[in-house]
Amino acid sequence: MKHPEAVLFTNLLAFTEESFLPALPTVAYKLISISSKEEIGMKEIADIISKDASLSAKVLKIAKSALQASL
């Protein structure tokens, strides 16, 4: 009997080979790559996020809702 993890991995692999999965945006790759650093500056994160208008809008919306909730 196969381990459940092996079955899951096999199913996921088959799914990804049969399906089209869109590539991550460049901004996501950059954020993932800097997340492995021990020290990350907020300016560095903000500079990367600012390159993507949609992501910037989502971050601002979340920040605004958090600010309003604390008032």
Domain boundaries, the chain: 23-70
Regarding pTM above 0.85, the answer is no
Question: What residues contact 34, with CB distance under 8 A and at least 6 apart?
Answer: 40, 44, 45, 48
Q: How far apart are CA 42 and CA 31, in angstroms?
A: 12
Predicted confidence (pLDDT) at residue 53 exceeds the cutoff of 60: yes
Predicted confidence (pLDDT) at residue 43 exceeds the cutoff of 90: yes
Predicted confidence (pLDDT) at residue 13 exceeds the cutoff of 60: yes
Specify the pLDDT at position 71. 67
Specify the pLDDT at position 21. 66
